[in-house]
Amino acid sequence: MIMRILGEGQYEIADQHLDRLNELDSALQPAADAGDETAFTAALAALLDAVRSLGTPLPDERITPSDLVLPDEDTSLRQVRELLSDEGLIPG
């Protein structure tokens, strides 16, 4: 799976890491629903850090469609609320 972090770049994520990313993603929804800015910021940072550490960065010159686009760390809680579905940012 190819994941893009807005303003940063793309990462190739092996299927074996999707469960871990889904665990981290599941912490975003309750924080967003509760309007808990501190928990939200921590959950988003943890998710993005995991994508960076578990994924393989793709070269900028490689043009590949992203399967999933994640907000950057500066995205507000309000903006992420608009992106969240019933399954969070990462479906599955």
pLDDT digits (tens, 9 = 90+) for 26-78: 888 888 888 898 998 999 999 999 999 999 999 988 888 999 888 898 888 88
Asked, for residue 27, whether it belongs to a domain, the answer is yes
Asked, for residue 91, whether it belongs to a domain, the answer is no
Q: What is the pTM of this model?
A: 0.84
Pairing of strands 9-12, 2-5: antiparallel
Asked, for residue 32, whether it belongs to a domain, the answer is yes
Among 77, 82, 85, residue whose Cα is nearest residue 45? 77
Burial class of residue 59, CB neighbours in 10 A (0-12, 13-18, 19+): exposed
Number of domains in the chain: 1
Asked, for residue 88, whether it belongs to a domain, the answer is no
- Structural domain range at position 15: 2-83
Asked, for residue 61, whether it belongs to a domain, the answer is yes
| pLDDT at residue 1 in the model | 93
Asked, for residue 90, whether it belongs to a domain, the answer is no
Asked, for residue 92, whether it belongs to a domain, the answer is no
Other beta carbons within 10 angstroms of residue 2's beta carbon come to 16
**Greater confidence, 31 or 10?**
10
